[in-house]
Each structure stands twice: as C-alpha cells, then as structure tokens.
Structure 1
Amino acid sequence: MMSVIEMHAKEVAEKAIRKDNFFILDVRNKTDFEDWKIEGENIEYLNIPYFDLLDGVEDILDQIPADKEVIVVCAKEGSSVMVAEMLTEHGRTVGYLKGGMKAWSEHLMPVKVGDLKDGGELYQFVRIGKGCLSYMAISNGEAALFDATRMTDVYIDFAKSVNAEIKHVFDTHLHADHISGGRIIAEKTNAIYWLPPKDAGEVVFQYQSLENGDEIVIGSTKINIEALYSPGHTIGSTSFVIDDQYLLTGDSLFIDSIGRPDLAGLAEDWVGDLRETLYARYKELSDELIVLPAHFMIMEELNDDGTVAKKLDELYASNHGLNIADEEEFRTMVTKNLPPQPNAYQEIRQTNMGKINPDEDKQREMEIGPNRCAVR
C-alpha cells in the first residue's frame, strides 16, 4: 500500500502563494470550514465531516480528482491521517496537513520587503493562516520588531540567523484579535518594549510610552523609525515611518480595506478619529511610501513574492475605504458593515494587558479563526 504524504504548513503556504492548483479535502465540521479555511486562488475544496467518513470513503471517491495533488485537512491532524490512509487503500496518492489547522494558524513565514538606505533590511513575517503581519527592521547588527505574534522563538531565532540583536519591540496598538509576543520577546532579549499609552491605561506591566513624533534609531547607520499617532482602530493606534520609505499602518489601513473602530465598544466615538487618520494624517505623508499593514484579509492581497505591500498613492486610488467623500456615508459604512467580533477578543485584550495569563493551549484556542480586524 502507498504511504500517506506528510505535508508541513510551510509547504502548503508556499503552494498557496505560488497559486498552485491543488485540492483540499477538509474533514472538519461544516461550521468550522465555512468560518475559516486554507485559502488560495487555485485551490479546490470538498468539505466532508470526518464523522461522515467513519464507514469508509467509497462514496466520495468520485468527488476527489485523481489528476491533482490532494491534501486532507482537519483541526489537529489525527482525523486527516485516518482519512488519508483510507484513500490510499483505494489507490489514491494523498497527503495530510501535519498539525492540522492548528499548525496552519501558527505558521510564520519571513519575507524580505526591501533594503534600507544605509545597508539595512526590512522583513515581513506573514502568518498566512491568521492574516497577521509583523515586521523586523535590521541595521548594523541591531533590530526593531513590530506587532510580533505569540510565536516568539521565530523572531528571536531569525534575528540570530542574521546576526542581529533585538533592541526595540513595538506594538502599534493593543491587539484584540491575536496575542502579542512583544512583552515576552522584550523580556527574553532585554529589549525595550514600547506601547501607545492611550491604549495601555489598564496594562499591569512596565513598558516604554510611545509618543507621537518619537524617533528611535537602530544601528550606527541611523535608520530612523518615526512614530505617527493615528487613532481610529483604537484610541492609541500608532503608525511608523521607517527610513522615509515604509509606512507601517498597524490595523488602521489595509491593502483592500480599513480598520474597524469597534473592538473596545466605541465605534461611534472613534469613527471620526479613523476618518481623520485616513483622510488627513496619512494624506500629509509622501504618497511614495510603501504601506505595510498589520493584517491582510484575503490571499489576493499578497504580491507574487509573498509580501503584503502597496504604495500609498495606489491605495488612495483603489481602496474604497479611502474614497468616500461624504462623512456621513463613511460613518455609516464603518459602523454598520462590521464583521463578527474576533474570537475571544475580550480575553485576548485582557491577556495583552497582562491581566490574565492563559496557558499555551488556551491561547491557541482563543486565537483560532480568521482575521476580523477590517471593515467589510
């Protein structure tokens, strides 16, 4: 009998980014599949819950192509292995996603965004299964990290691999859809952890207050990182201009959408701030800046090289959220077209404040599901 092929999240992510044509048999229940799945332009899907296949896979063989790569997916791996083995017994060549959707949610892929003016580099870490984006700027052996996820070792190991020491760790805002790794990374590396004070009123640990206009230099090459107050998604949201080339917008502005202002229950109060950030503060910046958001919504936002990035002037031309002249229409769109709240977002906020300390399994459970930081 043929053996089942073990597929790692990294391999599946690379296939999705390359827009490979393959087939996924997802054996989770229908609700979980419809809420969140592996996405890609040329992926075909079949969702049959595992419990419907306990008596065998004969009834679905004609729905599974014999001329395409087939990957079986479940929540944690076990069910997909069993279904994949049943398919191989019928002569099919199939793989399964090792670690299941749990592994897919946690996979981080570093991609180089570009060079900095005086010899440094900027990397984007793409969390493809969750839509999270984080960044590391490196200059002359020093690094600054932005919006890190809870997979802290990935960043620390990457910095070591490029012979850089993490000196500064920033969060653009108090996150509500994923658990920040910023504080732990700062503790492990003796870096300074920066937070916007307007978001940190209930934080119970020590941090460096991030103020509008702060300029932090890393490396002797003097690569400036300038903080730009940009409220709306949260009252403290802060963007960063790096090296006069890149604009890190946090969750205020995305490639295909704009940030939602309701995750602290204050949509009506903060929508005006959001509009001012998008329609005034960012307008004062160079339209040649390359926008680097903290999340992406759909796979189509990824460029061919796997990065999520686009020039500011292109977004003002193409992003609908930046092209609503009437303020009342904007207010209605932002407050009335909100997707469901992120899973366990209140608990995630409490965790990021340091008020609760859930174990790793609980943190994973809290984060499961798609990114929901944008207005529809």
Structure 2
Amino acid sequence: MTVQAMTAQEVTKKVFDQEAMFILDVRNTSDFEDWKIEGKSFQYLNIPYFDLLDGVEEILPDIPTDLPLLVVCAKEGSSIMVAEMLSEAGRDAAYLQGGMRAWSEYLQPVKVGDVNGGGELYQFVRIGKGCLSYVLISDGEAAVFDATRMTEVYTEFAKANGASITHVFDTHLHADHISGGRRIAEETGALYWLPPKDATEVTFAYQPLEDADHVQIGHTQVDIHALYSPGHTIGSTSFVIDEKYLLTGDILFVDSIGRPDLAGLAEDWVGDLRESLYQRYRQLSDELVVLPAHFMSFKELNEDGTVWQTLGHLYAHNHGLNIEDEEAFRKLVTENLPPQPNAYQDIRKTNMGKLDPNEEDQREMEIGPNRCAVRE
C-alpha cells in the first residue's frame, strides 16, 4: 500500500505557520530525547520501530484522529513501513522523506530585509540543526556568511537571483557543523575570508579577515564592516552591514550567549567573551538587527520564520547580557555548558583542511542539535 511522503520543506512550512501535527517518531528513545522535530503546535509519541514489528494496534488509541500524522525515523525506511501499517489499520499517515537526515540538511531561505542601493539580505534557516547562514545580494554580486556544507543551495540561489558569489565569510572556525565556505570559493572563484587567529592551523589559502576591514559588494557601496569579537573562539568576528544589521556568529544569540569552550579554553576565553558582549557590542547602535549563526529552539523563530532581534532588545531581555558581577558571569559561562557537539574535534579538523571525510561521514559527524550556547 502506497503512503504519502512529506518533505522537509513541507514540514518546515508547518513549523513557520505554527500548524498542528502529530509526530510518531520511531527512532530509539535516546535519539528522540536528544533531538527531534520541533514545532509550536506539534504533539509527539515516541515508540521505537522494533516495538512495532508485531503491529500498531496497541498504539492507535494514543494517536489522535483529528491531526495530520507524520511518521519519522532516521533515514525513512522504518517510517515507511510503520506508515503503511497505520494505513492498513485505517489511519491516514505520511512519512518524512529522507528521515531525520533530510531534516538536518534542509535549508529554507527567508528574506531579512533590504540593504542600501536596492540589495537584499537573506537568512538561510537550517531548521533541523539550528544553523543560520546568510546571503547578501547587491548589483549582481553576492556574499555568503557562515555557509553550511550544502553548498549548492547557495550557488543555485545566487544564480536564480542573477548574482555571482564574489565573497565568502566565516565568522569563526566552526565546531558544530562543516563549513561550505572553502568549497563555494573554489567553485566560484570568490575570496574566502577567515579570521586569522582561528586559521593558524588551516592547510589552505584564505583571505585574512582583520578588525575594521571593509568589503564592498556590488556597485551600490554595500558596506560590510568586520568587528573583532572574540570569546566563542579566539578569532570570532562579527559583521556590521550598512549600519543596520549585526551578524554575531556564535557570540550572541536571541535567547543566550556563546560558549567559549569548544577548543578546551573556557577559562582562558571567558574574559574575551565578556569584553565582546559588555564592551565592544555596547558601543554599537541599539537599533542594529542582530542576526546570529544559530538558534537553540523553534521558539526563537519570528512569525515569518526568521531569527533576529534588535541589539537594544537583547540588552534589555537576554539574561547573558545582564550579569553585572564578573565572577557570576564566569560561573554561568563555565559551569552551565551543554554536552560538546557530536564529533566536534573532527569537525574542527575538517574545517581546517586536516581531514577530508566523505559525504556520508560528514552527515554522521553533524547528526544532532547544535550546542553552541550557554545554558541559563
């Protein structure tokens, strides 16, 4: 019996639109508890696939009949079989095409706003991983910030918008996901910019990104100003675009602040983190739109699916920006850290060019949620 497939794009739309849905997740309980599809109006039931081999009759009373039903597994095979059993039992059920692997890799572009001279800034929401990347388009040129390894999404988007990618930036050396920056630069001939303090061990050529660097995109004088803001890493660099947008990388998020320990140097970098958040950013306009490189929860999504807030709002409401006592701040940052990201050391080495894992290995390295923020 044929059952309907639901794509990651379709599920993302339900998240953005806050539609109700019931998800039957048939992965192991530990996998489900660590990482699942999140939506404001979603309901869940986790029953491992092996517990359903004898049939689905026992769980039918636990599945509402008035909500769309989606069956989810790691790679889709098990969810197809369970969805077919549900269909045979008289329930309409769809399965997530490509499983959680597809959910992890899907990117949804959403327009953030305009830039001077008619350009546009887009946020690419990696809904299943919590990663945020950006494409700035102006006068036939494009710049990409914090690209994921799914590089064709950016190159095809630029092409569809009549633009050539001329610059690629990473705000820091990422530890939770594999950067696509170098690959995009190789494919397009764009300049690949990296903070030099994060690039001391890289094995490839790059353009050093220094504090106060200004880069022009297109002929409309779109101004990208690099702002050195260490703390998450020693080289972390933010970007002010047109004195309107602030790309913070993993230093500042909507609901939290960055963690300083992914290189094993939390005690050394906590002072840098505080200086960046409490001094460097304090000198900037409260009206800047903060655009982070990650989000922690679907609750941070705005109604249109974007993730942003003004800097002034964050200074008023983000707990991590309102700890006057330095020792209390140090304690928060060093004692409230989530588990390290999966394979983060290998991810860092891959982003340095020291490892060259195949595509399947890269997928496995990135499985799970991002863990770049301090828990409050």
User: Which TM bucket (shorter chain)?
Assistant: over 0.9
The letter of the residue matching 1:327 is E
- 1:107-256 equivalences under 5 Å are 107-256=106-255
User: Offset at 1:16?
Assistant: 1.0
CA distance in 2, matches of 1:231, 1:186: 25
User: Offset at 1:117?
Assistant: 2.0
User: Offset at 1:5?
Assistant: 1.2
CA distance in 1, matches of 2:331, 2:156: 45
What is the TM-score of this pair, normalised by structure 2?
0.99
Q: Corresponding residue for 2:11? A: 12
| Same amino acid, percent of matched pairs | 73
For these two proteins, the number of residue pairs brought into alignment is 375
The letter of the residue matching 2:329 is F
Q: Corresponding residue for 1:57? A: 56
Q: Corresponding residue for 1:88? A: 87
Q: Secondary structure at the match of 1:118?
A: helix
Deviation readout 1:353-374 (Å, 9 max, x if unpaired)? 0001000000000000001000
Deviation readout 1:238-292 (Å, 9 max, x if unpaired)? 0000011000000000000000000000000000000000000000001100000
The 4+ residue runs of structure 1 with deviation greater than 2 A are none
The letter of the residue matching 1:345 is Y
Q: Secondary structure at the match of 1:244?
A: coil
Let me know the Cα RMSD of the aligned residues: 0.5
Q: Corresponding residue for 1:353? A: 352
CA distance in 2, matches of 1:158, 1:10: 16
The letter of the residue matching 1:352 is N
What residue ranges of structure 2 are gaps of 5+ in the alignment? Answer: none
- 1:40-79 equivalences under 5 Å are 40-79=39-78
User: Offset at 1:4?
Assistant: 1.2
Q: Secondary structure at the match of 2:142?
A: strand
User: Offset at 1:17?
Assistant: 1.4
Deviation readout 1:319-346 (Å, 9 max, x if unpaired)? 0000000000000000000000000000
The letter of the residue matching 2:155 is I
What is the TM-score of this pair, normalised by structure 1?
0.99
CA distance in 2, matches of 1:224, 1:232: 25
The letter of the residue matching 2:280 is R
Deviation readout 1:176-207 (Å, 9 max, x if unpaired)? 00000000000000000000000001000000
Q: Secondary structure at the match of 2:11?
A: helix
CA distance in 2, matches of 1:117, 1:223: 6
User: Offset at 1:44?
Assistant: 0.3
Q: Corresponding residue for 1:315? A: 314
CA distance in 2, matches of 1:242, 1:145: 13
The letter of the residue matching 1:54 is L
User: Offset at 1:26?
Assistant: 0.0
